[in-house]
Amino acid sequence: MMKKLIARLDDFFYKVILKNLLKTSKLGYGTIITGAESGVNFEHMYNNHPEGKFIIGRFIDKVLLNLPAVHATRGRKDDIKKIIWNEVQNNRLLGKKTRVLDLASGSARYLRELADEHRNGDIESVCIDKDKDCVSLGEKLAANENLKNVRFLKGDIFQLDHLRKLSSRQEWIPNIVVASGLFIYFNDNDVEKMIKEVYEFLPENGLIIFSSYENLNTRKLMRKTMSTSSGEKWTLYYRKPEHWISLLNRIGYRYPFIFRDRWEMNNIIVGRK
Ligand SMILES: C[S@@+](CC[C@H](N)C(=O)[O-])C[C@H]1O[C@@H](n2cnc3c(N)ncnc32)[C@H](O)[C@@H]1O
User: So what's the pLDDT on residue 228?
Assistant: 66
Other CB atoms closer than 10 Å to residue 18's CB: what's the count? 16
Q: How far apart are CA 133 and CA 143, in angstroms?
A: 15
Q: Given a cut of 80, is residue 269 above it in pLDDT?
A: yes
CA of 181 to the centre of ligand 1 (A): 7
- Per the CB < 8 A criterion, the answer to whether 139 and 152 are in contact is yes
Architecture of domain 71-272: 3-Layer(aba) Sandwich (3.40)
Q: Does 129 contact ligand 1 (Cβ within 6 A)?
A: yes
Mean pLDDT of 105-112: 98
User: So what's the pLDDT on residue 1?
Assistant: 72
DSSP string, 239-256: --HHHHHHHHHHHT-EEE
Other CB atoms closer than 10 Å to residue 146's CB: what's the count? 9
- Per the CB < 8 A criterion, the answer to whether 114 and 81 are in contact is yes
The domain locations on the chain are: 2-69, 71-272
The mean predicted confidence, pLDDT, of the chain is 89
Chain centre distance of CA 219: 17
**DSSP strands (E only) in the chain:** 98-103, 123-129, 150-154, 176-179, 207-213, 254-260, 266-272
More confidently predicted of 100 and 224: 100
Helix (H) or strand (E) holding 169: helix 160-169
Q: How far apart are CA 239 and CA 181, in angstroms?
A: 13
Q: Given a cut of 70, is residue 234 above it in pLDDT?
A: no
Q: Tell me how far CA of residue 66 lies from CA of 17, 39, 50, 265, in angstroms.
A: 21, 18, 10, 15
User: So what's the pLDDT on residue 256?
Assistant: 96
Which residue among 47, 70, 110, 134 has the greatest number of ligand 1 atoms within 8 angstroms of its CB, and so is best to mutate?
A: 134
DSSP string, 45-95: HHH----BSHHHHHHHHHHHHTSHHHHHHHHHHHHHHHHHHHHHHHHHHTT
Q: Given a cut of 80, is residue 150 above it in pLDDT?
A: yes
Q: Which atom of ligand 1 is nearest to the CA of 179?
A: 6
Q: Does 62 contact ligand 1 (Cβ within 6 A)?
A: no
Mean pLDDT of 220-225: 70
Does the predicted model carry a pTM greater than 0.85?
yes
Query: What does the pLDDT look like over 203-218, one tens digit per residue?
Result: 999 999 999 999 877 7
Mean pLDDT of 129-158: 95
Residues in the chain: 273
User: So what's the pLDDT on residue 13?
Assistant: 60
Q: Is 28 exposed, middle or buried (0-12, 13-18, 19+ CB in 10 A)?
A: buried
CA of 273 to the centre of ligand 1 (A): 24
Q: How far apart are CA 106 and CA 79, in angstroms?
A: 17
Bridge partners, 148 (sequence order): none
Q: Which residues of 208-231 are buried (b: 16+ CB within 10 A; e: fewer)?
A: bbbbbbbebeeeebeeebbbbeee
User: So what's the pLDDT on residue 80?
Assistant: 97
Q: Does 261 contact ligand 1 (Cβ within 6 A)?
A: no
Sheet holding 98-103, edge to edge: 150-154, 123-129, 98-103, 176-179, 207-213, 266-272, 254-260
Q: How far apart are CA 77 and CA 113, in angstroms?
A: 10
Mean pLDDT of 119-124: 85
Query: What does the pLDDT look like over 72-99, one tens digit per residue?
Result: 999 999 999 999 999 999 999 999 999 9
Q: Which atom of ligand 1 is nearest to the CA of 211?
A: 8
Q: Tell me how far CA of residue 266 lies from CA of 15, 183, 239, in angstroms.
A: 27, 12, 10
* Beta carbons within 8 Å of 257's beta carbon, 6+ residues apart: 269, 270, 271
Mean pLDDT lowest among 36-40, 54-58, 186-190: 36-40
